[in-house]
Amino acid sequence: MPSSCHPSRSSRMMRSLAVITLVLAALLPSCGRKAQPRPPEDVMPRPIPDLGASNLADGIRLTWGRPSMYADGTRMMDLAGFVIERAVGTEARTVFKRLGAIEVSDRDRFRQIKSFQYVDHDTVPGTTYQYRVVSFTLDRYFSSPSNIVTVERTVPGEDTHALLPATQR
C-alpha cells in the first residue's frame, strides 16, 4: 500500500493529544463552586439596625447586635469586622470620619459573639456626637451604615447644677 493511505505515527499522536485536550477543556468548567455567582450587592451584610449609645464616666459606649444576614436574605458566615464612624454636631450634612475598627475572629467557634461594644474615650463633655457602624465580610464587602445615634456627652454622676446649702436664720 502506498504510504499516503496510512496515517503516520506522528499524526496519530497529534490527533490523540487534540482529543485529550478537548476532553480536559470540557471537564475544567465542572471544577470548583457549583452555585451561580452572586452579584456584590447581594453578598453585602445587611445594615445594623440596633446601634445604641450611652454615657460612661470615661466616654460614650456604643452597643449593637451581630449582623447575621446578607442583603439578599441568606445567612452570613464570614463576618470580618466593623468600622465605627463619628461626626461632631447635629447638622444633617455633618461629615462622618472613621473612629476605629473592630476585628471579628469567632467565625469558627461553636458559640459566636452576639453583641458588640465600643467605647469612644476621646470625647468632650457638653459636645454632641453622632455615631454609625458599618460591618464588612472577609472578602471586604461593606454594609450600608447602621442607624445613626446622637448623644450629648455628659459625665454620669456629676451634677452640673448643684443646689446651694440652705441657710438657717
Residues 109-165: tens digit of each pLDDT: 778 889 999 999 999 999 999 999 999 999 999 999 999 999 999 987 765 555 555
Q: 3-state DSSP: the chain helix, strand, coil percent, rounded to 5?
A: 15, 30, 55
Report residue 42's pLDDT band, with 50, 70 and 90 as the boundaries.
confident
Which uninterrupted H or E stretch holds 149?
strand 149-152
Report CA-CA distances (Å) from 1 to 7, 11, 137, 152.
12, 18, 71, 101
Answer yes or no: are the C-beta atoms of 151 and 128 closer than 8 Å: yes
pLDDT value at position 36? 67
The more confident residue out of 25 and 69 is 69
d(CA 45, CA 142): 7
Report residue 38's pLDDT band, with 50, 70 and 90 as the boundaries.
low
Cell of 116: 458588640
The SS3 of residue 124 is coil
Residue 169 has pLDDT above 50, yes or no: no
pTM of the full structure: 0.70
Answer yes or no: are the C-beta atoms of 47 and 146 closer than 8 Å: yes
